[in-house]
Amino acid sequence: MTEHESRSAAPTTGELALDDRASLQRVAGLSTELTDVTEVEYRQLRLERVVLVGVWTSGTAAQAQANMAELAALAETAGSQVLDAVIQRRSSPDAATYIGSGKAGELHDLVVATGADTVIADGELTPAQLTALEKIVKVKVIDRTALILDIFAQHATSREGKAQVSLAQMEYMLPRLRGWGESMSRQAGGRAGSNGGVGLRGPGETKIETDRRRIRERMAKLRREIRAMKTARTVKRLERHRSGVPTITVVGYTNAGKSSLVNAMTGSGVLVQNALFATLDPTTRRARLDDGREVVFTDTVGFVRHLPTQLVEAFRSTLEEVADADLLIHVVDGAEAFPLDQVAAVRTVLAEVLEESGDGAAAPPELLVVNKIDAMDGLARAELAAALPGAIFISARTGEGLDGLFNRVRDEVGRHDVEIFVDVPFDRGDVVSRIHADGEVRSTEHHATGTKMRIRVPAALAGELEEFTRTGG
């Protein structure tokens, strides 16, 4: 075996991460039913046999069913077994029990019949709705937000990712803390009894108040840690900007194939898994276009319909890669039933991130890329091409269309390039190397003292090469 073959046979970083993720699996059949459903917020989510429930308020029946299918995929990604799913058609969710007391009773009968131990609602429930629904169905009830937070907690690997997920979970948990019995008992105000002394008498602090205070203290500490880690990320980003290498950020709906596309364009071996939110930590990889120019691809966390606001806030430093990009590659899953709905969901989150970035900068140009065309029929492809003019159709798995994507990327990152003539002395080989790395050489002519070159480079690099610039051909 040659040295090259031994290197190619070595597992990639993504393959190692996937093996590590699959090394421990949940054991089916172990009950997670709670004897006291009032304490569900304090326990880690351990989903097994679940029933899904949703409220259909708008759209077609097919869209409502697609939403439930996505919720089922989220539940399976979290490690649960979906037993059944029900949808109720109503103008708005019930303020008390989400689906109404009558339907909640029917849901209880379904839970008993299927033997489920958890109910997952397709929406963010208020604390009152969670309490009321649990009292009726008699098993643990969680909502879509808690489910997504659990998936993020499972998939976070970096220190920054774990801190961001912990912060989001605490923000979600804080208003949902509940207490009964001992949780509502108060500590004595000072010394026990009524003779605590002047200024020491009083009701004291309940256990739930103590929990809230400790959670707030922990959240404040996490925010400080994330700000410190954000500084390191900002330094790296500024270093990339100073180098003049264009930054291309890959965004899109979860499981649309963003990591697969980054691998296909860079050969980096980023983790790829057919699961929702498989990639949380942004991965940056360099690649070289066919004209010799280097670019940087950044793979970001996937978006989803109704992405929890806690996650958007917690992952702010990660999502800032979007605002600072020179180009956004928006990957769309062409094999999905409603790809346009996914496009709208991604653009909604992007608009929120860009609006709250605070610098007032314009949004980077967006390049729509429809992936998984190998799983599309001709009619679906034609309909999507009409709905998304200018989009590029590719298959990251087979490589079809990647050449056209590279050409479009080259045109987009070079839209502000300028053409200049330079005369570089022979002792400045570093300048020649920089030109080849960050620009395009149109012609080269050697003479006695140096090299005359006609080049096309970014405007920033052209300013740095001013001392070598000459006029004419």
DSSP string for residues in 262-324: HHHHH-------SSTT---S-EEEEEE-TTS-EEEEEE-PPB-TT--HHHHHHTHHHHHHHHT
The answer to whether 267 is annotated as binding is: no
DSSP string for residues in 312-344: HHHTHHHHHHHHT-SEEEEEEETTSS-HHHHHH
The pLDDT assigned to 163 comes to 85
Mean pLDDT of the chain: 77
pLDDT confidence tier of residue 294, bands split at 50, 70 and 90: confident
pLDDT confidence tier of residue 106, bands split at 50, 70 and 90: very high
User: What pTM was computed for the model?
Assistant: 0.69
The answer to whether 371 is annotated as binding is: yes
The answer to whether 206 is annotated as binding is: no
Task: Round to whole Å and give the CA distance between 235 and 217.
Answer: 28
Side-chain half-sphere CA neighbours of 328 within 13 A:
23
The answer to whether 405 is annotated as binding is: no
pLDDT confidence tier of residue 107, bands split at 50, 70 and 90: very high
Range of weakest confidence among 20-29, 213-222, 396-405, 454-463: 20-29
Quick one: average pLDDT of 277-286? 63
The answer to whether 300 is annotated as binding is: yes
- Position 309 pLDDT exceeds 60: yes
In the numeric block, the tokens 């207490």 are attached to 179
The answer to whether 373 is annotated as binding is: yes
pLDDT confidence tier of residue 1, bands split at 50, 70 and 90: very low
Measure Cα distances from 90 to 58, 80, 271 in Å.
Answer: 9, 28, 41
Orientation angle between helical segments 207-243 and 316-323, nearest 10 degrees: 30
The answer to whether 23 is annotated as binding is: no
Tell me: the pLDDT tens digits for 170-219?
888 888 876 554 444 555 554 444 555 555 555 656 677 788 888 899 99
The answer to whether 103 is annotated as binding is: no
Side-chain half-sphere CA neighbours of 191 within 13 A:
6
Orientation angle between helical segments 144-155 and 159-173, nearest 10 degrees: 160
The pLDDT assigned to 455 comes to 87
The answer to whether 372 is annotated as binding is: yes
- Position 389 pLDDT exceeds 60: yes
Q: Are 464 and 424 in contact (CB under 8 A)?
A: no
Angle among Cα 44, 48, 49 to the nearest 5 degrees reads 135
The pLDDT assigned to 241 comes to 64
The answer to whether 426 is annotated as binding is: no
Tell me: the pLDDT tens digits for 397-425?
888 988 888 888 888 877 777 888 889 88
Please tell me the CATH code under which domain 33-153 is placed. 3.40.50.11060
Structure tokens at 192: 């026990």
The answer to whether 109 is annotated as binding is: no
The answer to whether 253 is annotated as binding is: yes
- Position 283 pLDDT exceeds 50: yes
The pLDDT assigned to 123 comes to 86
The pLDDT assigned to 377 comes to 87
The pLDDT assigned to 205 comes to 63
The pLDDT assigned to 354 comes to 74
Express as a percent the part of the chain with pLDDT over 70. Answer: 74
The answer to whether 204 is annotated as binding is: no
Range of weakest confidence among 135-139, 347-351, 361-365: 361-365
CATH of 244-413, one of 3.40.50.300, 3.20.20.140, 1.10.10.60, 3.40.50.2300: 3.40.50.300
The answer to whether 299 is annotated as binding is: yes
Question: Beta partners for 141?
Answer: 119
The pLDDT assigned to 50 comes to 92
Orientation angle between helical segments 127-137 and 101-114, nearest 10 degrees: 50
The pLDDT assigned to 30 comes to 39
The answer to whether 433 is annotated as binding is: no
Q: Are 413 and 460 in contact (CB under 8 A)?
A: no
- Position 166 pLDDT exceeds 80: yes
CA 83 and chain centroid, separation? 28
Tell me: the pLDDT tens digits for 252-261?
888 788 878 8
The pLDDT assigned to 291 comes to 65
The answer to whether 452 is annotated as binding is: no
The answer to whether 307 is annotated as binding is: no
The answer to whether 375 is annotated as binding is: no
Express as a percent the part of the chain with pLDDT over 90. Answer: 15
- Position 91 pLDDT exceeds 80: yes
The answer to whether 243 is annotated as binding is: no
* Antiparallel, parallel or unpaired: β 118-121 and 49-56: parallel
The answer to whether 90 is annotated as binding is: no
Quick one: average pLDDT of 354-377? 79
The answer to whether 374 is annotated as binding is: yes
CA 146 and chain centroid, separation? 16
| Closest to 349 measured CA to CA, from 397, 309, 396, 392 | 309
Range of weakest confidence among 74-83, 185-194, 291-300, 331-340: 185-194
The answer to whether 256 is annotated as binding is: yes
